[in-house]
Amino acid sequence: MKTPYLLIAAALSISFAATADEGQWQPHQLAQLQAELTAKGIEIPGKQLADLSQYPMNAMVSLGYCSASFVSPNGLVVTNHHCAYNAIQNNSTKDNNLIEKGFLAKTKAEELPAGAQERLYITESVTDVTAQVSANLAPELTGAARYEAIESNRKALIKSCESDANYRCSVVSFHHGLEYFQIKQLMLQDVRLVYAPSESIGNFGGDIDNFEYPRHTGDYTFIRGYVGKDGKPAPYAIDNVPYQSKNFLKVNATGVRQGEGILLAGYPGRTSRYRLADEIAFAANWQYPAQVKTYQQMINTIDQLSAADADLKVKYASTVKSLNNRMKKLQGLLDGFKVTDIHAIKQQQQQALLDWISSDSSRKPYQQSIVELTQVIDAEQAFTRQTYYFDNAKRSDVLRAAMTLYRLAIESQKPDAEREMGYQQRDLNMIESRLVRMEKSFDPVMDLAIWSEQLAEYLAQPNEVRVVELDSALELSVGMSLADINAKLAALYPRSGLTNTAGRKAWLSKTPAEFAQSNDPFIKVAVAIYEKNKALELEEKTISGQLSQMRPAYMQAVIAYNNAQGKPVYPDANSTLRITYGSVDGYPAKDGVYKTPFTSVKGLIAKRQPEYPFNAPQKLVDAYNNGKTSGYFYQDLAAKTELPWHCKLFSCPQPEVEAFNSVPVNFLTSADTTGGNSGSAVMNGKGELVGLNFDSTYESINKDWYFNPEITRAIHVDIRYVLWLMQYVDGAQNVLDEMDIVR
């Protein structure tokens, strides 16, 4: 039974448009939101925020999977510790574990290569190309044919945009295919590690505290972009020079206080705010539980094998961290669905939309589009159920490398414009980089254990889910034990050349005929299941082509409905540059529990324990206890306590509130964020850096589906804590000297 609070929340949230601080806005939309920005105390005009060539937006950076920002004219970038984890792990060994002890380059010559795959992407332009993408899409064109037509138009636009090889372009769908924008980004290929705190600071609290609050995590790391001597992007070379960033964020050492307005800019990954109620039910009842089981199996296997092998622990540190993060988020989503009936809220939203449609006969086509969309979604969910365990049955890094190489060989026989995206000429460097990266993140023992376990799960599924080609290639049969599977697969690794970098790279230029004749066991499996993979890919394209007609029609209805009420609509997140705004604020976590917006070093020390993940370093404790806090000690009230309701009618004495009196560590805001926003710059009203986004509260995880302004909060590392650690704990004065610090 829903509580009255949830009924009220549903009633207040019928509109699909943004309310309160909700909204992951495209930069060009900020000009329309001037009144909201002014109300938050944001001094930068909306028109300036919409201009990617001006401060502060031209200081924003994407890592391709996280967000970051320039903080010096010499290509210095700040992001999260967990975003730079690959770079730290890439330079770690069991004998020199930089993850555990941290790293500081005192000079640029000491900075370390982040890894062959690492890139910095600087967004320079966002152009509406909807007309070009939709140019030849006749209404009768549907299914896979429609999908391929869209892809062909996208590839042509990308090729024209990438006339300069230093740029990476993409054509991205907004509002689920209603609009398309071309994103042009300068791509820096030489990225280096500058300074990372020890894991006991950068990951304080570990997976126990992940998505929790109060939090005391120093989730920050500095990296740097390099270019050739001519100033143009170039692959790593010892004599490359720091990139001269056109602009960089000023850093405000006084930070923010409760109630102050903030801006947050970054690259949020994926949200599902405009999905149907049936899609929420599918995620809650089938998809998320299946994924939780898979991730937990993998985490258990990695933890078990890593516990007795320091080399494995280093190699799979980044993998297991990512899996733990996904696991906790999924579990939080499932728990959140139980607390807040988002399915019912979505049903009410949809009914309000249908009522609006039926009130005017000219809107009848909208109603038909919703019916058709529901039918395609049913097919999409059936496809997901059908293919989920087969996809997991291919969870071997070696097999995936073999599949990629064989697909590349086949696609390379075609003209570049006709190749599948991801296998064009523009993609070759990244494919090679992934093959090289495996050297630092792969071990046959671990690969075998994970793969065997997932194959056992696959074999336990009904016959209709299984794939004959895979069963035949691996000689699998129902009833095989995990030990049987493991023994059979173990014999494959010594016979394959793909377990080392040279062996993998040797296949980059091979022909399909050479693959077909190979005796490498992993290549033989890749060849055997290729046609099945292609058939499933075609089925997926058919569904995607149908959705490319149905979802835009649905979004037209949603936007028209909100425009009729004078409300702007932001698109779902899609890993492109977005801006959100909010306020520094706590929240009511549960009955009788209000969580204040700041945590402190004083609280961190009280939370400290001898063992990981709460083993804060002694030098941090000593610096604080010895009074080395000048410039970063915050003296203010810890929180403004919400008065009881009757105090708004009658006079009540003000409650006593304990003074904060410490160095702030983390703080909360009402900013609208999701995965991909990790590392996003949190700025004050002047656009000065005051923190880095790194997480959400556990109660907020469901914001991917529904934004509840009462409890949705993002967690940020306070820039005062970062600066204090740099100055008084880690001795990173050389990095501090690069930045423009405002006091």
Residue pointed to by tokens 């010499």: 74
Q: How far apart are CA 273 and CA 285, in angstroms?
A: 18
184 and 167 Cβ atoms separated by less than 8 Å: yes
Burial group, residue 210, by CB count within 10 angstroms (0-12, 13-18, 19+): buried
Catalytic-residue membership of 82: yes
Q: What's the Rg (C-alpha) of the chain?
A: 26
Residue pointed to by tokens 């009842």: 285
Q: How far apart are CA 339 and CA 38, in angstroms?
A: 34
| Length reported for the chain | 743
569 and 562 Cβ atoms separated by less than 8 Å: yes
Catalytic residue of the set 318, 678, 680, 696: 678
Catalytic-residue membership of 678: yes
- How far is residue 70 CA from its own chain's centroid? 19
Which residue type sits at 509? Answer: S
Residue pointed to by tokens 């002047």: 686
Centre a 10 Å sphere on the Cβ of residue 312 and count the other Cβ atoms it contains.
17
∠ CA 436-84-428, rounded to 5°: 30
333 and 287 Cβ atoms separated by less than 8 Å: no
158 and 171 Cβ atoms separated by less than 8 Å: yes
Which residue type sits at 688? Answer: E
Q: Which of 289, 365, 258, 346 is nearest to 659 (CA)?
A: 258
Catalytic residue of the set 190, 219, 585, 672: 219
Centre a 10 Å sphere on the Cβ of residue 78 and count the other Cβ atoms it contains.
28
Residue pointed to by tokens 């979802």: 551
Which residue type sits at 265? Answer: A
520 and 339 Cβ atoms separated by less than 8 Å: no
Coil, strand, or helix at residue 721? helix
Catalytic-residue membership of 219: yes
Give DSSP secondary structure letters for 324-386. HHHHHHHHHHHHHHHHS-HHHHHHHHHHHHHHHHHTSGGGHHHHHHHHHHHHHHHHHHHHHHH
Q: Which of 10, 619, 104, 43 is nearest to 340 (CA)?
A: 10
Centre a 10 Å sphere on the Cβ of residue 413 and count the other Cβ atoms it contains.
10
Coil, strand, or helix at residue 244? coil
∠ CA 238-192-241, rounded to 5°: 45
Q: How far apart are CA 60 and CA 577, in angstroms?
A: 8
Active centre residues (catalytic): 82, 219, 678
